[in-house]
Amino acid sequence: MTLALPAALKDAARTTVRTIEDRTPADRDRALDGLRALALLAVPAGHWLVGGFTRDAGGALHNSSVLSAVGALAPASWVLQMLGIFFLVGGHASVRSLRRAGERGEPVRTWLRGRIVRLGRPVLGVTAVWAMLLPVLYGLGVPEATLRTGATLVIQPLWFVGVYAAVTALTPYCLRAARRWGAWAAAPLAAAVAAVDFLRYGPFADAVPAWLGLLTLLPGWLFAYQLGVSWGERRLGRRAAWTLLLGGTALFAALLLFFHYPASMVGVPGQDRTNSHPPSLLVVALAAAQSGAAVLLRDRLARLLRRPALWAPVTVVNLSAMTVLCWHQTALLSAAVPASFLGEVPGLTSSPDGVGWLLARLAWLPLFAAALLLIGRTTRRFEAPWTGVTGARRAAAALLAAGFAVFALRLA
């Protein structure tokens, strides 16, 4: 019996792999899906690896980061911060999707509404569910400080959805720019970020208001998306890709060595500067290098993903993209919150104070992944159309989501 179970699992896995392979259209761009899956999985991997907690005397959890204690780990964020790839692939995919919509006679407005709704459903789902969970957890004895920490973690990744929706709305304009200027259409966006960085970090920094940095929010992330649109229009070839790779790498090194940008690509508690929120020129440089590498490796990746055993997990990840994005922090909290009642559990609720903590955290990653799989089996339904859901229920979900946002953003 013990030998039959693994054999049955292997047979089921082979059947699943064959089914996915048989259902994949011949013209499917496997390289784009592979890049998207890689960028997507980097999000939970990064959050789970570097994001930790400190536990106060009352047993409440507070956000912390191992990067605060071990600055030498900052280069890991250069690999795990792959949002540039995500926006690049998103721009390319949007071009193809918009082209197909035009062939069907579908207006741009209808196409855009469909894209925004697909992004919004999972966000509404996770925030509404957490709004209902908060009073239940509080009634079970979870401290309010822990609930606020958890709410912050849940809502943090969702900023991406808002920014992605905004750049998606600009797709028709990006398309016109790509047709006119090719890959150079992204250059003014990089220049805009550089100008804002000069103002907030240069000789006039003391006179510049803090909110000025928000002006990089759109151009900083639109940069890679615009490159993706140009790529989808076949206006970004290998020569431009080499320029992006080498130029982006050189700029990245110069900003670190000569202009003293923070080495971490993610925010580190206690530092007064951050590269990602809002994006700095270092983010743009990294996105340029990543985009160049992606274009150059596309054909090789496509050949690699012709192997059914490699293609199947890529398909599964892409089909659950928003579920992974919206619920991976919940998977982490599903382990950390119960553990907080036990005291300081190494790698989970203990302070992230060194390499030892990181090694312990690595041991927890399979549990987080398993929790995400279990949660995703139920919550993935939020990605599907909400057919049969009445207007009253949708309004209730929206009201719950708004209440959760108010709590998470500490507005109440």
In angstroms, the CA 248 to CA 258 distance is: 15
Q: CA 81, 83, 85, 87: dihedral to nearest 10 degrees?
A: -170
pLDDT values of the chain reduced to their tens digit, one per residue, 412 residues: 444 557 777 777 788 888 898 888 888 899 999 999 999 999 999 999 999 999 999 999 999 999 988 888 889 999 999 999 999 999 999 999 999 999 999 999 999 999 999 999 999 999 999 999 999 999 999 999 999 999 999 998 888 899 999 999 999 999 999 999 999 999 999 999 999 999 999 888 888 898 898 999 999 999 999 999 999 999 999 999 999 999 999 999 999 999 999 999 987 777 778 898 899 999 999 999 999 999 999 999 999 999 999 999 999 999 999 999 999 999 999 999 999 999 999 999 999 999 999 999 999 999 999 999 999 999 999 998 887 788 888 899 999 999 999 999 886 6
First-to-last CA distance in the chain? Answer: 56
pLDDT of residue 4: 52
pLDDT of residue 412: 63
DSSP 368-402: HHHHHHHHHHHHGGGGS--TT--HHHHHHHHHHHH
Return the number of other C-beta atoms located less than 10 Å from residue 355's C-beta: 12
Using an 8 Å Cβ cutoff, are 407 and 148 in contact?
Answer: yes
In angstroms, the CA 379 to CA 127 distance is: 12
Return the number of other C-beta atoms located less than 10 Å from residue 242's C-beta: 14
* 194 contact partners, CB below 8 Å, separation of at least 6: 281, 284
Return the number of other C-beta atoms located less than 10 Å from residue 406's C-beta: 13
Using an 8 Å Cβ cutoff, are 197 and 281 in contact?
Answer: yes
Query: One-letter amino acid identity for 289?
Result: A
Q: Where are the domains of the chain?
A: 30-408
In angstroms, the CA 323 to CA 310 distance is: 21
Using an 8 Å Cβ cutoff, are 61 and 53 in contact?
Answer: yes
In angstroms, the CA 350 to CA 298 distance is: 42
Specify burial of residue 410 (Cβ count, 10 A radius: 0-12, 13-18, 19+): exposed
In angstroms, the CA 126 to CA 325 distance is: 10
DSSP 188-228: HHHHHHHHHHHHHHSTTGGGS-GGGGGGGHHHHHHHHHHHH
In angstroms, the CA 116 to CA 141 distance is: 38
